[in-house]
A and B are shown apart, each in its own frame.
Chain A
Amino acid sequence: MDSSRFRPFSSADAVACRRVGKTWAEGTVRAHEALRDIDLDIAPGEFVVLLGPSGCGKSTLLYLVAGLEAQTDGLIASFGDPVEKPSPDRSLIFQETSLFPWLTVWQNVSFGLSIRGAPEAERRAVATEALARVGLSAAIDKRPDELSGGMRQRVAVARALAMRPKVLLMDEPFAALDVQTRAKMQDFLLDVWRDSGASVLFVTHHIDEAVALADRVVVFTARPGRIKSILPIGLPRPRDPFSPEAEALRRQLTAELKAEVDRAFAEQEALATA
């Protein structure tokens, strides 16, 4: 890929997207443009939240950055190298649980190490440490189906952390949790993020969550997903969700998102009547 066509990027950027586009099933009658012209830089250690209407291509962007799918347009680089295939440096935590039901919790967490052929003692040590970080030391020998939804997502986080990734990609990891559990998980994620020093690209539907977590919030348009606006959240941590500044940011994000959701619905309506 000739990268000179694109706006230059630094090898210090954890993720650099240049005019990234993705059309699913390109060249067929089912072709479907999910993303267009995404330009985004993520600094090392930065927490970026993607916010957008359902179906706008947020998960698609994470798949592209993870290297699980190839973009049909543009360039994605991580620390200066083009992203061409998945790498343990970029861990993806999926929207639905993806723990292997046939492995115990610790075997799930250390799956990546077993792929590299690490000896059992080392694997168990790494899993023990990662599970301690997510507060699940007691569940180490359990099976995934014995855990609650929140615990499973924490195991998924531990599994991602065990790979010591430089970029953590998270696709609505807490969407299925109740409000209280989600608040706990957010605190815990911020702790883990600070300790690990990884960059995070986090997808959510929840404006509260975006304001609670992000250094920057990227708002997407309805499909095809483009970047509508990028909003820095300058609030000091730990954040007070009831501060007037947080309130103002939420109001602003709500307005931006509502316009897009309205547009998405109108488009779908038009498609249905056509």
Chain B
Amino acid sequence: MASDLAGAVSGAAARPAAAAAAPTRFPPPWRAALARLGWTAASIGLFVGIWELCWATGLSDPKLLPPPHIFLANIPDQARFFNTATRWQIGINPADGPSPYEAVFITIGATSMRVFVGLAIAAVLSVSIGVLIRYFQLLERLTLPTITLLSPISPIAWLPIAIFIFGIGNAPAIFMVVVALFFHMTLSTISQIDAVNRNYINVARTMGATKRQIYARVIIPAILPQLLLVLRLNMFGAWMVVLVAETTGVGFGLGQVLSMARNTFNPSLVFFCIALIGVLGFLTDLILRMVQNRILFWVPQTAGVLRGL
């Protein structure tokens, strides 16, 4: 397995060089994507290489900091620890449940589902409430002080409440994500509404737009880019909160496996979970970035300009 991985890494890293050597083989967008992939692989390879070197020279204790070739060596062995809710039910023979690999996917799926459902609920709720607060002054007076007051409270403090209200299962984990994002995203929606270019609003006013039309056709499109960015930044927070919620007995999920790995002193399993979480977080960000490029086709891309500096 270790050599497989090394082969994959070096193979991927070699690709951009091959593409550059044969420029006619791939159209330019493909070449750019391949180059990006190559650099990603090179970056991970460098990091893994240093880690493996520390292990090879005896600098790091493999019992505490097992390098990738150890914690990725025996995936079936690790996957044994991924219990799913069905396997845990009383009266069901643990051996009857899904295979270890299936259990890994069920666990990942359950955790990701909590993150996405929580993100979606938080996004819809906080944007609507943020807009309504600016739209109706009475609502602002009634709710904004409370929202501002509650926003600095750490999501961890809400954990007991989540369990009191929702017990054990998906609901408390999703509730935690919503609570962790809602206040911040509502306040940020409001501040973005206030930052909308006055000219845009004035143009609409001179054309006889009503308040409702100004909100629907000017303010919401104008704040959309920033909102998606806020959502992307908060996605990491959502992952964090879900793991914490799962650790504290929500049932099953990556957080629960991680907590068990800690309790049973199993560093390999910890690193295996961390690797999974890293890949999942990266993929979620990629999806959100694709959504962003799709919806926000008009937002100019400045990254290229910065690269020229």
Contacts and interface: CB of A to CB of B under 8 A. Distances in A.
Chain A interface helix/strand/loop/mixed? loop
Interface residues of B, number: 20
Interface stretch (B77-85, B176-184, B201-209): B201-209
B218 A100 contact: yes
Contact of B207 (A96, A111, A145): A111
Contacts of A100: 200, 203, 218, 221-222
B202 A98 contact: yes
Residue of A68, A86, A98, A102 with most partner-chain B CB within 10 A: A102
Identify the interface centre among B204, B206, B209, B298: most chain A CB within 10 Å of its CB.
Answer: B206
B302 to A, nearest CB: 12
Interface in B218-271: 218, 221-222, 224
Interface string B166-203: 00000000000000000000000000000001011011
Contacts of A94: 199, 202-203
A116 B208 CA distance: 8
A86 B205 contact: yes
Contacts of B152: none
Interface residues of A, number: 24
Interface in A65-101: 66-68, 86-88, 90-92, 94, 96, 98, 100-101
A98 B224 CA distance: 17
B202 A92 contact: yes
Nearest to B220: A102
Nearest to B209: A115
Interface string B138-164: 000000000000000000000000000
A143 interface: yes
B300 interface: yes
B205 A68 contact: yes
Contact of A68 (B200, B202, B208, B209): B202
A163 interface: yes
A81 to B, nearest CB: 15
Contacts of A66: 202, 206
Among B197, B208, B217, the most chain A Cβ lie within 10 Å of the Cβ of: B208
Contact of B298 (A67, A68, A90, A145): A145
A155 to B, nearest CB: 12
A143 B298 contact: yes
A112 B207 contact: yes
Interface string B268-309: 000000000000000000000000000000111000000000
B99 interface: no
Contact of A115 (B204, B221, B222): B204
A112 B197 CA distance: 18
Interface string A89-128: 0111010101011100000000110111000000000000
A11 to B, nearest CB: 22
Contact of A102 (B206, B207, B298, B300): B298
B300 A145 contact: yes
Nearest to A160: B206
Interface string A128-167: 0000000000000001010000000000000100010000
A102 B228 CA distance: 15
Contacts of B202: 66, 68, 86, 92, 94, 98
Contacts of B199: 94, 96, 98
Contact of A88 (B200, B206, B213, B217): B206
A274 B117 CA distance: 61
A162 to B, nearest CB: 9
Contacts of A145: 298, 300
Nearest to B202: A68
Contacts of B206: 66-68, 86-88, 90-92
Nearest to A113: B207
B204 to A, nearest CB: 7
B215 to A, nearest CB: 13
B208 A86 contact: yes
Nearest to A99: B203
B207 A163 contact: yes
Of A96, A98, A143, chain B has the most CB atoms within 10 Å of the CB of A98
A90 B206 CA distance: 7
A176 to B, nearest CB: 14
Contacts of A114: 217
Given A100-B221, A101-B298, A143-B298, A115 B200 contact: no
Nearest to B296: A102
Interchain residue pairs A-B with the least CB separation, the first 10: A112-B207, A98-B199, A102-B221, A86-B206, A86-B205, A101-B298, A115-B209, A88-B208, A102-B298, A94-B199
Given A102-B221, A111-B217, 15 more contacts: A66-B202, A67-B206, A68-B205, A86-B202, A88-B207, A91-B206, A92-B203, A94-B203, A100-B218, A100-B221, A101-B298, A101-B299, A102-B298, A115-B209, A159-B203
20 contacts: A86-B205, A87-B208, A88-B206, A88-B207, A91-B206, A92-B203, A98-B197, A98-B200, A98-B203, A101-B299, A102-B224, A102-B298, A111-B217, A115-B204, A115-B207, A115-B208, A115-B209, A143-B298, A145-B298, A163-B207
